[in-house]
Amino acid sequence: MSEENGIVRQWSASNMEEGLDVVEEIFEAADVEEVFGEPVEAGDYIVIPAAEVFVAGGLGMGFGSDPESETEEFGAGLGGGGTSSGRPVAAIVIGPNGVVVEPIIDVTKVGLAFISAMAGLVIAVNRMNRHG
């Protein structure tokens, strides 16, 4: 995913309340409204943008005391964070002749796939020539 194609959000937390707020915000980022955009009307056509949304997050907490300490000292810690990103993947076009889904091609991914395939082919040919 390239940042110019979509939205990238990141969160972090340093206490329990912030951590729970982070988790709530992460789940809100995966709402259906993030996947399907507002419909746009143009003449007899309605276009609905569709996106791929990725959400990940985590929250952890720990506490304890030193078992060999004569005083009962207590320590606690919390950490959390998450990220979400989205990129356009299609336009749903509703018109007089029905519904058509037009994919949005990510030329960067196509280019990287081509370069990777060519590199793999070169490596395979070189290995065959060495062992052949």
Residue type, 125: V
> Cβ atoms within 10 A of the Cβ of 90, count?
15
Residue 39's pLDDT band (cuts 50, 70, 90): very high
Taking all residues of the chain, what is their mean pLDDT, rounded to a whole number?
80
Residue 62 in tokens? 């720990």
Please, what's the b/e burial string for 31-55 (b: 16 or more CB within 10 A of its CB; e: otherwise)?
eeeeeeeeeeeeeeeebbbbbebeb
How high is the pLDDT of residue 44? Answer: 95
pLDDT tens for residues 55-82?
887 777 777 776 676 776 767 777 777 7
Ranges of each domain in the chain: 3-104
How high is the pLDDT of residue 92? Answer: 96
Does residue 75 contact residue 5 with C-beta atoms inside 8 Å? no
Does residue 8 contact residue 82 with C-beta atoms inside 8 Å? no
